[in-house]
Chain A
Amino acid sequence: MYLWKYWRESRITFAVGLLLVGLLLWGVLKIPVGSLMQGPHDAGDSPATIYLLMAAPLVLPLGFLALLFGSFGIGSDMGKGSGSFLFSRPRTRAFFVWNDWGFGIAQLLLIVLAANAVLVLAIHRIAPGSGPILLAGHPVSMLSIFCLHCTAGLLLIGLLFGLTYFCSVLAKNRGVLLAIGIVVAYQIAKAVVKYKWPSITLPDLTLTEFSMTPQGPPGFAKNLGLEIGLRSAVALAFPFAAQLLLQQRDID
């Protein structure tokens, strides 16, 4: 019922997302990276680096998809004047928020998994013998790189999706613009802080630090678990905030 409604609204974006990721990966696979595999392996030219190079172009489209998915659901319905109808169905406001959020994140996760699965296949095509990849001093398997990139991707889209969802509940039809504004403002603030106080670095939205963990020296991004936990908490804070906002608000 309710998930069916969300699926009706988001299915075209989901299909376009998969198509977009497929096209980008097809384009990425055309890059002559195979030559990198011909020399001796080290941290600079490993399959992990190639994985990172091929995954990098996906960040923008994934971020864009996360923003789009965040604009579906309750916020958009309230913007269309359907709030009274929806919230007079016998369900709690939390039900609507977590159904929207859960189904949206599930679709985005599928896209991230599909993109990374294709990347793994591509690496295998380029370097057929790279099953468990061993880097200098870092025993890193293809599976762990895959998991790391999927986690990094999920955290990024989770953050952007949650932010947009919250903004849509807050500002209805102007939610996406507000979310984009916040992301841009954060990036500007990050640059300004780095310029004024070079020793301070605000966290990167794209999680480059995680993705480069296999390439970094020992101890690089050492608090991976803590960072993942913190970023997950921030990403989850947005749907919680949306729920609280809806529960406090009068529906008009």
Chain B
Amino acid sequence: MNDLAIETHALHKHYGDIRAVDGLDMHVPRGAVYGFLGRNGAGKTTTIRLLAGLAHASGGEMRVLGLDPRVDSIAILERTGLVIEKMLLPSMTGNDLVRFNRGFFPRWSDALARKYAEVFELDMTRKFKKLSTGNRTKLCLLLALAQGAELLVLDEPTAGMDPVVTDQLLRVMVEDFANEGRTLVLSSHHLSEVERIAEWVGIIDQGKLLLEARLDDMRTNFRRVRVVGEALALAEWPDIVSANTGEGTTEYVVRANADAFAAHLGSQGTTVLDVTPLNLSEIFLEVVGKGKTNVPVEVLA
């Protein structure tokens, strides 16, 4: 069995001249919690739509649970819970939606639906269109969880939700789903949420995956190195992500081998002021090019 829940190779999706997904190579290990990060319009939702079979790829390869969405979309959808647009059938109540959904999924569980209705404190007799944003998301998640999926893909699940509901949803996703050995893919631009639960992170920008790695590895390897003096020629060190010069100092962000880099600078007579770790938010900003000088990084994993 393939040990990847999702795998894409050179995946493309073009809308005329716009390259929404531009050669995406993505690898989501089975059983992982994967944070799919990117700015608005980076290509996260388009990628998820391609994986769900809702959109047609312009080129490239993709596998979901070892199957090709273009050929085996039914088998994939039976085993995958998707929360993309948080719009279900507006005139149906929660109970109606459970009844509607039940027949589609062979592993559907009414017991789970009842459990999450209680956990989320949902009024299942209320029509979907009358629910608040938070409760709509909860109902979407309830349906996805009750279908007994192996893979859960959530697109911006916490958008527009208050911190209490966000916390509740994240806990359910991790404790009830991911801890069972199933795969959770969470697309978001709320970095703190992803940092809290993700084991793996993929950063997408302008349709390209700029970085994909274990979060722990990123925390261990990414470092900011501050030195006295002007920037060195970037070509000299392959792990440099960015270099910013100002007020007599230069700040380098390196994606690996920070100590060796600092030693290299020292050997050239440069004074190294400090070497500090970066959090996910800082790494994200560096990788998507918020630094003044940016070098695209390769996939770490």
Listed in ascending order, the chain A residues whose CB lies under 8 Å from chain B are 1-2, 4-5, 8-9, 77, 80-92, 248, 250-251
Binds A, one of B33-41, B74-82, B223-231, B278-286: B74-82
A77: chain B residues within 8 A (beta carbon): 89
A84: chain B residues within 8 A (beta carbon): 49, 52, 54, 82, 84-85, 87
B89: chain A residues within 8 A (beta carbon): 5, 77, 80, 82, 85-86
Q: Known contacts A4-B100, A84-B87, A89-B104: does B55 contact A250 (CB below 8 Å)?
A: yes
Residue of A nearest to B128 (CB): A82
Contact between B104 and A90, CB atoms less than 8 A apart: yes
Contact between A85 and B88, CB atoms less than 8 A apart: yes
Residue of A nearest to B90 (CB): A80
Contact between A1 and B100, CB atoms less than 8 A apart: yes
Contact between B54 and A91, CB atoms less than 8 A apart: no
B53: chain A residues within 8 A (beta carbon): 87-88
Contact between B102 and A82, CB atoms less than 8 A apart: no
- Measured CA separation A88–B89 after assembly (Å): 13
Listed in ascending order, the chain B residues whose CB lies under 8 Å from chain A are 49, 52-56, 73-78, 82, 84-85, 87-92, 96, 99-105
A83: chain B residues within 8 A (beta carbon): 54, 85
A80, A91, A250, A251: the one within 8 Å of B104 (CB)? A91
Known pairs A250-B49, A251-B54 / 7 extra A-B pairs, C-beta < 8 Å:
A1-B103, A5-B100, A82-B85, A83-B54, A88-B82, A89-B101, A90-B76
- Measured CA separation A38–B61 after assembly (Å): 79
9 tightest A-B contacts by CB?
Answer: A1-B103, A90-B77, A250-B55, A81-B87, A84-B85, A90-B78, A251-B54, A89-B104, A88-B82
Contact between B85 and A250, CB atoms less than 8 A apart: no
B75: chain A residues within 8 A (beta carbon): 90
Contact between A250 and B56, CB atoms less than 8 A apart: yes
Contact between A88 and B87, CB atoms less than 8 A apart: no
- Measured CA separation A250–B52 after assembly (Å): 11
Contact between A251 and B100, CB atoms less than 8 A apart: no
Q: How far is the CB of A126 from chain B (nearest CB, A)?
A: 44
A248: chain B residues within 8 A (beta carbon): 56
Residue of A nearest to B102 (CB): A1
Q: How far is the CB of B103 from chain A (nearest CB, A)?
A: 3
- Measured CA separation A83–B74 after assembly (Å): 16
Q: How far is the CB of B45 from chain A (nearest CB, A)?
A: 10
A250: chain B residues within 8 A (beta carbon): 49, 54-56
Q: Known contacts A250-B49, A251-B55: does B100 contact A90 (CB below 8 Å)?
A: no
B103: chain A residues within 8 A (beta carbon): 1-2
Q: How far is the CB of A228 from chain B (nearest CB, A)?
A: 36
B99: chain A residues within 8 A (beta carbon): 1, 4
A82: chain B residues within 8 A (beta carbon): 85, 87-90
- Measured CA separation A88–B53 after assembly (Å): 8
Contact between B52 and A88, CB atoms less than 8 A apart: yes
A-B contact pairs, 16 of them (CB 8 A): A1-B102, A1-B104, A8-B91, A8-B92, A81-B85, A83-B54, A83-B85, A84-B52, A84-B84, A86-B89, A88-B54, A89-B101, A90-B73, A90-B74, A90-B75, A250-B49
Residue of A nearest to B75 (CB): A90
- Measured CA separation A179–B84 after assembly (Å): 31
B77: chain A residues within 8 A (beta carbon): 88-90
Q: How far is the CB of B64 from chain A (nearest CB, A)?
A: 12
- Measured CA separation A14–B111 after assembly (Å): 35
B88: chain A residues within 8 A (beta carbon): 82, 85
- Measured CA separation A129–B19 after assembly (Å): 75
Q: How far is the CB of A32 from chain B (nearest CB, A)?
A: 46
Q: How far is the CB of A242 from chain B (nearest CB, A)?
A: 17
- Measured CA separation A140–B49 after assembly (Å): 59
Q: How far is the CB of B220 from chain A (nearest CB, A)?
A: 37
Q: How far is the CB of B97 from chain A (nearest CB, A)?
A: 9
B74: chain A residues within 8 A (beta carbon): 90-92
A1: chain B residues within 8 A (beta carbon): 99-104
- Measured CA separation A90–B75 after assembly (Å): 7
Residue of A nearest to B15 (CB): A250
- Measured CA separation A9–B104 after assembly (Å): 19
- Measured CA separation A82–B104 after assembly (Å): 16
Q: Which of B52, B78, B87, B92 has the most CB of A within 10 A?
A: B87
Residue of B nearest to A249 (CB): B56
B101: chain A residues within 8 A (beta carbon): 1, 89
- Measured CA separation A8–B97 after assembly (Å): 12
B73, B78, B85: the one within 8 Å of A85 (CB)? B85
- Measured CA separation A85–B101 after assembly (Å): 10
Contact between B90 and A88, CB atoms less than 8 A apart: no
A2, A8, A80: the one within 8 Å of B87 (CB)? A80
Residue of A nearest to B78 (CB): A90
